[in-house]
Amino acid sequence: MLPEAIEAMTVQLGRVGNASSLHAAGRRVRRVVEESRETIADALGARPSEVVFTSGGTEADNLAIKGLYWARRPRRRVLISSVEHHAALDPAHWLAGSQGAEVELLAVDGLGRVHPDTLRAAIERDPDDVAMVSVMWANNEVGTIQPINVLAAIAHDHGIPFHTDAVQALGQLPVSFAGSGTDALTLTGHKVGGPIGAGALLLARGLTPVSVQHGGGQERDVRSGTLDAPAIAGLAAAVSTAVREQEALGRRLTALRDELIQRVRAAVPDVVLNGDPADRLPGNAHFSFPGCEGDALLMLLDAKGVECSTGSACSAGVSQPSHVLLAMGADEAAARGSLRFTLGHTSTRDDVDRLMEVLPAAVERARRAGLS
């Protein structure tokens, strides 16, 4: 966590009060919540009334996708990119399985990008039956950045609300809610040095999704529940700091990422870089290592103190190949043999040096294991 977030949370953890209460302690907490709302709105080009606090990105995605679908019934079509995070894909598929939605996955190219013509063609097949569109700002696995402004404009040309999951983009790319033209935008704290369990959905005025949870009517009666003032204060401090420092951090991470990519390619000549080679998140480097199982390579690196991620998800204890890479046209072996290295505000060249000390031997050992 960023020092600014820790400090903001520490102050609030020493206080009492419920932001929904009318007594003095409650009013003091309410003031902190509303000031945090204003801070986030100011940092992201939104109105304070457009900031709806949630427990994180997953809840915000669920609220946007389920809530907007329900609000626009009897329209049934949900258009969503094939490379979304499961926090967005799974709610959409749940709507299809239990609510009668027709979910259509928008195809991507070999770099993981939704082409504007793909969205336009999908909408125009039956524009009056489209409930909403959801395309993430930047991909969490391969780092490819989507043409969000263009895609949102296409949706708006047909009067369709557009949601974007900006969890990965915030803090690494310039993010403006008003400037993007989106109607709903998901963010979360822990990706920008804030607390885990705190997030928000930016929701345009005039757009009212059906509530996913009900209770006290907090947050425009869109998301009921007692507000976690310490977490909200930490979230606001982290968002403000991350946005303020984004340009400098982006330059530093881009240089460090490019060095990492160059050195990995030199050490493992047959490695494949996934995603757009240039138009990608500054802190993202995603590779497929031919002849390796990603899980095995991850554990070998982890044993040497290098923490990275595979592109796979685990379902019922069974490892599955990355749906992102499969959607991009990779075969199953390449999808299973992938690793994501991510850099953040604490990353340094020493981290890259350590990776390169252990990566070649780990790849060689993983390949031998795969042949045995």
Ramachandran region, residue 187 (left: φ > 0; alpha: ψ -120 to 50; beta: rest): beta
Q: What is the pLDDT of residue 20?
A: 83
Ramachandran region, residue 225 (left: φ > 0; alpha: ψ -120 to 50; beta: rest): left
> Residue 177 in 3-state DSSP?
helix
Q: Which residues pair with 104 in a beta bridge?
A: 79
Token readout for 79 is 């258009």
CA distances from 46 to 175, 294, 372 (A): 10, 40, 56
> Residue 176 in 3-state DSSP?
coil
Say whether pLDDT at 372 is over 70.
no
Count of beta carbons in the 10 Å neighbourhood of residue 205: 11
Q: What is the pLDDT of residue 84?
A: 98
| CATH 3.90.1150.10 residue ranges for the chain | 246-371
Cβ(268)–Cβ(362) under 8 Å? Answer: no
For the segment 10-25, the average pLDDT, to the nearest whole number, is 88
**How many CA within 13 A on the CB side of residue 119?**
28
For the segment 212-237, the average pLDDT, to the nearest whole number, is 93
Share of the chain above pLDDT 90, in %: 89
Catalytic annotation present for 314: yes
Q: What is the pLDDT of residue 105?
A: 98
Provide DSSP, 315-346.
Answer: ETTEEE--HHHHHTT--HHHHHTEEEEE--TT
For the segment 137-165, the average pLDDT, to the nearest whole number, is 98
Could you read off the pLDDT of 157-192 as tens digits, one per residue?
999 999 999 999 999 999 999 999 999 999 999 999
- For the domain covering 3-242, report its CATH number: 3.40.640.10
Residue type, 109: D
Q: Pick the catalytic residue: 267, 299, 303, 314?
A: 314
Q: What is the pLDDT of residue 309?
A: 93
Could you read off the pLDDT of 344-369 as tens digits, one per residue?
999 999 999 999 999 999 999 999 98
Residue type, 93: H
Question: Mean pLDDT of all residues in the chain?
Answer: 95
Could you read off the pLDDT of 288-309 as tens digits, one per residue?
999 999 999 999 999 999 999 9
Could you read off the pLDDT of 67-96 as tens digits, one per residue?
999 999 999 999 999 999 999 999 999 999
Could you read off the pLDDT of 107-133 as tens digits, one per residue?
999 999 999 999 999 999 999 999 999
Q: What is the pLDDT of residue 25?
A: 84
Q: Which of 349, 242, 355, 366 is nearest to 308 (CA)?
A: 355
pLDDT category at 313 given cuts 50, 70, 90 is: very low
- The C-alpha atoms of residue 13 and residue 16 are separated, in whole angstroms, by 8
pLDDT category at 318 given cuts 50, 70, 90 is: low
Cβ(52)–Cβ(223) under 8 Å? Answer: yes
Token readout for 298 is 């991850």
Say whether pLDDT at 317 is over 60.
no
Say whether pLDDT at 314 is over 50.
no
> Residue 145 in 3-state DSSP?
strand
Say whether pLDDT at 312 is over 60.
no
Cβ(221)–Cβ(212) under 8 Å? Answer: no
Q: Which residues pair with 199 in a beta bridge?
A: 54, 188
Confidence (pTM) = 0.95
| CATH 3.40.640.10 residue ranges for the chain | 3-242
Say whether pLDDT at 24 is over 90.
no
pLDDT category at 315 given cuts 50, 70, 90 is: very low
Q: What is the pLDDT of residue 359?
A: 98
Q: What is the pLDDT of residue 284?
A: 97
Residue type, 324: V
Count of beta carbons in the 10 Å neighbourhood of residue 122: 20
Count of beta carbons in the 10 Å neighbourhood of residue 73: 12
Please give the biggest Cα pair distance in the chain: 69
Q: Which CATH architecture has domain 246-371?
A: Alpha-Beta Complex (3.90)
Could you read off the pLDDT of 31-68 as tens digits, one per residue?
999 999 999 999 999 999 999 999 999 999 999 999 99
**What phi, psi does 203 have (nearest 5°)?**
-130, 115
- Residues in contact with 6: Cβ distance below 8 Å, sequence separation at least 6, in sequence order: 234
Quick one: DSSP state of residue 211?
P
